Structure 1
Amino acid sequence: MPSHGRVEMTSRLRPGRWLARILPPSLLGRLVVVMVAGVLLTQLAGNWLWATQRHAEAEVEVRTATQHLAHSASKVVRFFLSLPANYRPLIIQQFREMGGTRFLVNVNRAPVEIAGIGEQALAEVAKAQVRTTLKEDVPNLSKLRIDFAWPDHLPVSDDGTTLNDMPEGWVQNVVLTKPAPAPILLIQAEMGPGNWLYLATLMPNPYFLDSGNPLTRDRVLLQALSLGAVLLLCILVVRWTTRPLAALSEAATAFGNGERMPELPETGSREFVNTVRAFSAMRERINRYIADRERLFVSISHDLRTPIMRLKLRTELLDDEQLRDEFHEDLDELEMMVKGALQTVKDSDIHENPTEIRLDALLGRMVRDARLAGHQVSFTASGLSVAAKPLALKRAIGNLLNNALHYGKQVELAVEPRGTNIAIVIRDHGPGVPPEALDSLAEPYVRLDHGREQNSSGMGLGLGIARGIVQAHGGELLLDNHPEGGFRATIVLPGAAFTPLDN
């Protein structure tokens, strides 16, 4: 494949790997994440569209309302401009005694310094509209200050008087603090040297700043409730949908390990019912095949024993002793092959229930037996146990140990945890195995030259039987040469079968 083709294929695979690392491993988690992400994206897009439209509508409303308010303020400014300077405080006092007007009015010698509410888009729109309208209605205004401020400690006069210092009747049309403080529009216009008109009022919509905010408390609460409802329904529906799949997965795992499982109920969606039916049919066919295989081998063993025995008796009638011995050797080899084939079937399919096995006790007994036979075997207690089929696991370890004793003489046994798994290591100090022969070493009837020399009675079935038993437990048999010399066989059992021994 050309290099650019590999680069293109790698670039296609990267997004899938990236998503696989982010998404949870379970189907339930992935469906929940995808559905919640879809709802969140929909809400964000909807909020953005709604906020854009609402902000545009709010700007139009603020401009319209502010224009009417500015026209009213223009009339007040023209009225005070038409009065002599010494009449203006008198008129203001009369306004206050009457209970005030829409505007809180005052006259100062200089503009009052105001602490504004900060940069806010709608406030800037309102200030610009007020300035434009006032300039159009009262073109002879030389200086003009417009701002928004909060009512608390708002200065009204250049002598330090604040809004809080004034009687409630004077400011009742200006101050709004419930349910929340509303910003006050302040207009300061110069009517002459040392004569500034101070106007304070509320906007027609006192809380106009909130009209363009998409994240109001009510809206956020409503969306949070809707997201929570979607998440809850999603978890319930997905769990209800994936629960049969989990049962199917457990049944497939148990069947692969040789355990007996009840029939799966044919309930749920149409696709799941079809899958259950296909799985049940497959399990039945495999069970029939295994049963037929056992019956076949048993029948072959039974049927071949009689002609083999008959042939052995007939060889005794031969006069040629050398020929008679050769016939006996061939028949013995044929009988051993038949027994070995039958043993392969039976030993790899031991029907037991898994139970907790204390590895120190199991391996300790095997080590003691080997030492009594004169072999050098070392073993260090690990304090671990494993859930497995006792006879089957003992058969697998025994085959590996026997091979190690035949070919390596000195043997070391060890048990160690590997992450969530457990490993049983059998290492000998023999000549090892050629690297090219490791892949086929566990195949039936495969024997190496040095194996035939040291163990002429073997048939090459031990490793194959051990591998079948380990795989039936959901584990793996690893065969390799030890870096310091000798051969090493490692039984790795999965985490589901690993149990720490209670002290």
Structure 2
Amino acid sequence: MNTPGSQDSFAVRCQRRLTRWVPQSLLGRLSLVMLAGVMLVQFAGNAIWAAQMRSEARTEVRTAAEHLGHSAASSLRYFLSLPVNYRGLVIQQFREMGGTRFFANLTDGPVSMTAFADEELSILALQQVRKVIQQELPAIRQLQVSFAWPQDVRFSQDGTGISDVPDKWVEHILVTRPKPAPVMVIQAELEPGNWLYLATLMPNPYFLNGSDPFSGDRVLLQVLTLLAVFVLSLLVVRWITRPLAALSSAADAFGQGDSVPALPDTGSKEFLNTARAFGLMRERIQRYIEDRERLFVSISHDLRTPIMRLKLRAELLDDEATRSEFHDDLDELDMMVKGALQCVKDSDIHENPTAIRLDALIGRMVRDVKLGGHAIAFEASGIEVVAKPLALKRAISNLLNNALHYGSQVSITVSQSAAYVEIAIRDHGPGVPEQALATLFDPYVRLEHGRQSNQSGMGLGLGIARDIVQAHQGELILQNAAGGGLLACIRLPASAAPDTQA
């Protein structure tokens, strides 16, 4: 019995498989939809057309077989009216004259025929001819009606075929070349031991071929039509989606801080409206960002003057305890202003990306740490990365300072894979509770043991480091290391340049 959970998982699996096979681009999806639509319309149209063709073919074959049955019944009635001795002479005269409807022959019994592939129309024709003859000549005791290909037709029990008789006997009656047509053979017992053999063609000799809606030429025509429609659809869809690709590139460049390329002024009305709306939105966002940064820097800078005045006035207080409390509050406020200025400064680094030898960059920081008397381990790797030197140094320095404050020993490793270069900085401190890992990047967030180890910190270093790494199209991952301590991993693309503006 299926449970709701199993049904949901099955639906999810089906959706994943469908997503895997469906193109991700708008061009691919529109092309797939148009191709599927054309194929569906062609399939439905062909099905309707084939049904109509089969209905018309059955009607035509039934009518033609009825006329052929009447002609065969007339011939049988004529031979029944002749004396037995005259029948051979009449048949000989028919052969000499040519142009008759039937090739006739007298036999002592029915001639066996090679089995003919049963098809709907051939069975319908045989049944209709047999029905008409039996209705008009109920006295006929035995009647055999069958189809045979010209090369399989036998005129008598001794195996005489078309190639064994003069051409003038059959050339105006049966079609043997260049494309043979099925021959209808009618055999009727006139009297015991006397059989009349009649061979003829349907009024439409190639009635079987005309009923096939999926013949080679028709299938080829459908395939050519489908290819033509698909190519035209692909060109039209590509022409429609090309401006959307330009808009996507412009939005991506604007999001990364690059110069936005000019959007094409051609395309559909909807695209032009979207491009104008995007341009206006970009201008408003740019003005908002510039105004916000200018206001933030101005406020942070201007706050330093009243803070300094308050410190001077606090010196005039007579109460030592009150003066100390004022100084502590003002120092904390000053640190917050300095942190805000640093946050704006560190997030607005204008540098050109260049190839950086990580061994040299990290090695200098490691030497400075060792001079300060801290324990640090680092092994050269010979790996290079394309990045902004000062920005990357600041990100690594923030992580390294955190590790030095909260751990007794620090180790740095650099590795490279096909996709990215990883710089791992591990401290051997107490680590971080799992539920607190997600909040470490928030501004001014400091854990309890962090406030005890580093009282001068402001909780901005990790956020600044993550912004710098993300500006390099990378990611900063924090996790507890096996064996204790916090592991900070900087992953940078192995072959990608960072944004020109952080």
Deviation at 1:166, TM superposition (A): 2.6
> Is 1:410–2:410 an aligned residue pair?
yes
Distance of aligned partners of 1:414 and 1:88 in 2 relative to their CA distance in 1, 3 Å threshold: farther
| TM alignment of 1:236-247, pairs within 5 A | 236-247=235-246
Q: Deviations over 1:439-489 (max 9, x none)?
A: 211111211222233333322111111222233445443322234432123
Deviation at 1:205, TM superposition (A): 0.6
Q: Deviations over 1:117-157 (max 9, x none)?
A: 31211111100110001111221111111111211243222
- Please tell me whether the aligned partners of residues 385 and 421 of structure 2 are also in contact (alpha carbons under 8 angstroms): no
> What residue is the counterpart of 1:397 in the other structure?
396
Distance 1:382 1:245 in 2: 43
Distance 1:421 1:10 in 2: 33
Deviation at 1:429, TM superposition (A): 2.8
Q: Which moved more, 1:269-278 or 1:232-241?
A: 269-278
- 3-state SS in 2 of match to 1:116: coil
> Is 1:167–2:166 an aligned residue pair?
yes
> What residue is the counterpart of 1:267 in the other structure?
266
- 3-state SS in 2 of match to 1:42: helix
Q: Deviations over 1:239-271 (max 9, x none)?
A: 111112111112222222222223423432222
Distance 2:380 2:148 in 1: 82
TM-score by length of 1: 0.85
Distance 1:262 1:400 in 2: 36
- Please tell me whether the aligned partners of residues 382 and 416 of structure 1 are also in contact (alpha carbons under 8 angstroms): no
Distance of aligned partners of 1:487 and 1:123 in 2 relative to their CA distance in 1, 3 Å threshold: same
- Please tell me whether the aligned partners of residues 301 and 342 of structure 1 are also in contact (alpha carbons under 8 angstroms): yes
- Please tell me whether the aligned partners of residues 376 and 410 of structure 2 are also in contact (alpha carbons under 8 angstroms): yes
Q: Deviations over 1:261-288 (max 9, x none)?
A: 2342343222222222222222222222
> What residue is the counterpart of 2:201 in the other structure?
202
Instruction: Name the amino acid aligned to 2:377.
Output: V
Q: Which moved more, 1:40-49 or 1:375-384?
A: 375-384
> What residue is the counterpart of 2:184 in the other structure?
185
Q: Deviations over 1:33-71 (max 9, x none)?
A: 112212221122122222222211211111111111111
> What residue is the counterpart of 1:446 in the other structure?
445
Distance 2:382 2:223 in 1: 53
- 3-state SS in 2 of match to 1:376: strand
Distance 1:421 1:45 in 2: 51
How many positions carry a matched residue from both structures?
A: 491
- Please tell me whether the aligned partners of residues 100 and 169 of structure 1 are also in contact (alpha carbons under 8 angstroms): no
Distance 1:311 1:367 in 2: 44
Q: Unpaired runs of 5+ in structure 1?
A: none
Q: CA RMSD in A?
A: 3.5
> What residue is the counterpart of 1:68 in the other structure?
67
TM-score by length of 2: 0.85
Distance 1:458 1:286 in 2: 32
Deviation at 1:159, TM superposition (A): 0.7
Distance 2:478 2:295 in 1: 31
- 3-state SS in 1 of match to 2:479: strand
Q: Deviations over 1:338-362 (max 9, x none)?
A: 2221111121232345x4646xx22
Instruction: Name the amino acid aligned to 1:366.
Output: I
Distance 1:176 1:60 in 2: 24
Q: Which moved more, 1:16-25 or 1:426-435?
A: 16-25
> Is 1:350–2:346 an aligned residue pair?
no
Distance 1:65 1:317 in 2: 125
- 3-state SS in 2 of match to 1:427: strand
- Please tell me whether the aligned partners of residues 362 and 394 of structure 1 are also in contact (alpha carbons under 8 angstroms): no
- 3-state SS in 2 of match to 1:152: helix
Distance 1:255 1:152 in 2: 79
> What residue is the counterpart of 1:459 in the other structure?
458
Distance 1:296 1:389 in 2: 27
Instruction: Name the amino acid aligned to 2:91.
Output: I
- Please tell me whether the aligned partners of residues 442 and 463 of structure 1 are also in contact (alpha carbons under 8 angstroms): yes
Instruction: Name the amino acid aligned to 2:105.
Output: N
> What residue is the counterpart of 1:370 in the other structure?
366
Aligned residues with identical type, % of pairs: 58
| TM alignment of 1:269-348, pairs within 5 A | 269-308=268-307, 331-348=330-347
> What residue is the counterpart of 1:50 in the other structure?
49
Distance 2:38 2:384 in 1: 48
- 3-state SS in 2 of match to 1:290: helix
- 3-state SS in 1 of match to 2:476: strand
| TM alignment of 1:6-25, pairs within 5 A | 20-25=19-24
Deviation at 1:199, TM superposition (A): 1.4
Q: Which moved more, 1:151-160 or 1:140-149?
A: 151-160
Q: Deviations over 1:276-314 (max 9, x none)?
A: 222222222222222223322332344344455556667
Distance of aligned partners of 1:498 and 1:215 in 2 relative to their CA distance in 1, 3 Å threshold: farther
Distance of aligned partners of 1:373 and 1:473 in 2 relative to their CA distance in 1, 3 Å threshold: closer
Distance 1:47 1:350 in 2: 65
Instruction: Name the amino acid aligned to 2:215.
Output: T
Q: Which moved more, 1:20-29 or 1:362-371?
A: 362-371
Deviation at 1:325, TM superposition (A): 7.1
Distance of aligned partners of 1:205 and 1:484 in 2 relative to their CA distance in 1, 3 Å threshold: farther
- Please tell me whether the aligned partners of residues 150 and 182 of structure 1 are also in contact (alpha carbons under 8 angstroms): yes
Deviation at 1:368, TM superposition (A): 5.2
- Please tell me whether the aligned partners of residues 412 and 425 of structure 2 are also in contact (alpha carbons under 8 angstroms): yes
Distance of aligned partners of 1:182 and 1:45 in 2 relative to their CA distance in 1, 3 Å threshold: same
> What residue is the counterpart of 1:137 in the other structure?
136
> What residue is the counterpart of 1:230 in the other structure?
229
> What residue is the counterpart of 1:482 in the other structure?
481
Deviation at 1:99, TM superposition (A): 3.1
- 3-state SS in 1 of match to 2:198: strand
Distance 1:43 1:453 in 2: 76
Distance of aligned partners of 1:377 and 1:192 in 2 relative to their CA distance in 1, 3 Å threshold: farther
- 3-state SS in 2 of match to 1:410: strand
Distance of aligned partners of 1:491 and 1:269 in 2 relative to their CA distance in 1, 3 Å threshold: farther
Deviation at 1:183, TM superposition (A): 1.2
Deviation at 1:204, TM superposition (A): 0.4
Distance 2:381 2:111 in 1: 89
Distance of aligned partners of 1:412 and 1:143 in 2 relative to their CA distance in 1, 3 Å threshold: farther
- 3-state SS in 1 of match to 2:186: strand
